[in-house]
Structure 1
Amino acid sequence: MTEDQRNKLIERIKRLLALSKSPNEHEAAAAMSKAQELMRELSITEEDLELTDFATVRTDTLLVKSGHRLPRYVSYMSYLMKTAFGVECIFSDGQRNKEIIFVGTKSKTEICVYTWTVLARILKTKAAEYKFSITHLRCSPGKKAALAEEYCEGWVWGVWENIVPETVSQREHELTKKLINTKFNIKTADMRGSGASGAEANDAYSQGMQTGKNTRLHQGMQADKRGALSETRYLGRA
C-alpha cells in the first residue's frame, strides 16, 4: 500500500467515525463497524487518527548559523509564538542555519511559518534602523551590535505584551507533546544574552520595547490551494 493510498483510507475512516454519530442507529452502527474494520487493517488507533491532524513545520528565516549559540531574543520570539498560537517550538541545527520547528495542529503550524517570517523581517528592519540611529555613539562595532541585540530583546517583549494568548485544550496539548516525544530528542538550547549592560543597554531595551508595543502584527488565517495565505487578522489586543 502506498502512502497516498494509506492517507486516503485514513480520511475515509475519519468520515466513517463522523457518520457513526448519526442519529440514524443503523447508519451509525454500519459506519462504526466499517471504520473499525479499516482501523484493524491499517493497525491504527483512534489516537493515531487524531495525530494525523498534527504536524511539524520548520523554517530557518532568522539565519542563525548552525552550531552557534541562540540569541536570547530568538528564544523570546518562540515564547511569543507559543503564546499567540498555542504551538510548541523546537530549535534544531539545519545544514547551514538553525531552524525553528513548530509543532501543533496542521492549520496552526502552517500559519506559524508565515507569521514567524513576517516577524523576523520586521525585527531585522527595526534592528537596522536602531543601529543607524546610534552611529553617533563612540563605541566599538561589537558594542553597537550588543546594543542592537538588547533593542531586539525589548522589541520582542513589547510585541509579546500586545498578544492575546491562544487557548489550547488539554487534549491538543497532550497530542502535541506526544508528537514531540515520538519525533524528537529534545535538548536544551544553548543561548546567549546580548552582553550589553549599563544605561545605554537599558535605553536600547526601552526603545525596543516601545517600538514593539506599537507594532501591528497580523497572522495568516487561511491558505489558498497554492499555499499562499489569502487572509490575515490583527494579532494583538484591541
Structure 2
Amino acid sequence: MCSWGASSTYHGMRPAPFPERCDGRCPMTSDRILRKIERCLALSRSANEHEAGIALRQAQHLMVEHDISEIDVAASSIGRATAQSESGRKPPKWLDRLASLVNAAFGTLAVYEARPTFTGWQGFYAFLGEESHARIAAYAFEVLQRQLVTDRRAFLSGMSKRAKRITKIRRSDAFATAWVLGAYEHIVPVEMDADSVAAIDHFKQRYYTTLKEMNAIDRGHQAADRKAMSRGFEAGRQARLHTGVAQDERRALSHG
C-alpha cells in the first residue's frame, strides 16, 4: 500500500534480480559516506562551539562533494522488511486493511509487491520505516495475518453448504474486513512527524523504479452480510500479538 492508514495500495516494482537480497537498508548512496556525515552532524550538536562548527563544515563539505542532500541522510536510517501475504497479484481489501492497521501501530508505510513464481504470483507487503520499526511491523503483520486467515477459514467452513460460492466468498471477506476493524480497537496509532514521513517517502521513491496505485480486491457487502461482519468484529477484538516482539513495541498494539 503506500499507506499510512488509507486502504488504497501502491504496487511497487524494482528490477533487482534477487529482490529478497535487498531487505533492510537500500544502498542508495555509499553507506560509509552516509555514516561519516551522520557522525559529523551528531558532533555538530556538541556543546563545544568550536568542535561543533568544524563538524558541521565537514558534514556540509561531504554532502556537496558527494551530491547528498539532507533528505538523503535522513532516508539512510530507513529500513525495509517484507512479509509474505496470503494473496497473489492483487490483495483482497481485508489484507490491505490489515497492513494499514500495522502501519498505524508502528509508524511504517507499506508497499505491496507481487512477484512471479512457477505457479503464478506471490504477494508480499514491504514495510518501510525506521529499521527496528520495519522489522517489527513485518513480524506483526505475519502474526495477525495468520490469526485472521485462520478465523476467516473457520467462518467459511461453518457456512451452509447450500450457500452459493460467490455468497460464501463475499461474506467471508465481510467477516475478515470487520475482523480488522475489531483489532483496530486495541492499537495506539503512532504520530508521524513531517520529517519521518518525508524520509520514508524519499526512500520509497529511490528504492522503487515504478509505483502504481492499485485498488485492492473489494467484493463489497450486502445487508444480509451484517451477521458475518458482527462475528468478524468480535473475533478481531480477540487478536493477540505473540511473544517475540519487544515489550515496548507490543505496548503499541496493547493486546492482552
Report the TM-score range of the alignment, normalised by the length of the smaller protein: 0.7 to 0.9
CA distance in 2, matches of 1:81, 1:93: 19
CA contact (8 A) 1:87 1:108 kept: yes
User: Counterpart of 1:129 in structure 2: which amino acid?
Assistant: A
CA contact (8 A) 2:45 2:52 kept: yes
Q: In terms of Rg, which structure is larger?
A: 1
Which residues of 2 match residues 112-127 of structure 1 at below 5 A?
112-127=137-152
CA distance in 1, matches of 2:43, 2:129: 26
Counterpart for residue 103 of structure 2? 82
2:16 equivalent to 1:16: no
TM-score calculated relative to the size of structure 2: 0.75
TM-score calculated relative to the size of structure 1: 0.80
User: Tell me, which stretches of 5 or more residues in structure 1 are unaligned?
Assistant: 223-229
CA contact (8 A) 2:156 2:172 kept: yes
2:88 equivalent to 1:65: yes
Deviation of 1:218 after TM superposition, in Å, equals 5.5
The percentage of aligned residue pairs carrying the same residue is: 26
Deviations 1:160-187 (Å, cap 9, x if unpaired)? 2322111111111122223333344332
Deviations 1:80-128 (Å, cap 9, x if unpaired)? 1222122222223212212222222222211111111111111111112
2:132 equivalent to 1:107: yes
2:183 equivalent to 1:159: yes
Deviation of 1:19 after TM superposition, in Å, equals 1.1
Counterpart for residue 91 of structure 1? 112
Deviation of 1:212 after TM superposition, in Å, equals 0.6
CA contact (8 A) 1:220 1:233 kept: no
Deviations 1:15-56 (Å, cap 9, x if unpaired)? 121112111223223322333333334331222111101133
Q: 1:156 to 1:28 in 2, by over 3 A?
A: same
CA distance in 2, matches of 1:182, 1:11: 18
CA distance in 2, matches of 1:42, 1:104: 24
Counterpart for residue 31 of structure 1? 55
CA distance in 2, matches of 1:45, 1:192: 39
User: Counterpart of 1:203 in structure 2: which amino acid?
Assistant: K
User: Counterpart of 1:97 in structure 2: which amino acid?
Assistant: Q
Deviations 1:137-175 (Å, cap 9, x if unpaired)? 522344323322221111011112322111111111122
Q: 1:183 to 1:8 in 2, by over 3 A?
A: closer
Q: 1:193 to 1:44 in 2, by over 3 A?
A: closer
CA contact (8 A) 1:114 1:219 kept: no
CA contact (8 A) 2:183 2:236 kept: yes
Aligned residues between the structures: 224
Deviation of 1:208 after TM superposition, in Å, equals 0.4
2:157 equivalent to 1:132: yes
Counterpart for residue 250 of structure 2? 233
User: Counterpart of 1:59 in structure 2: which amino acid?
Assistant: A
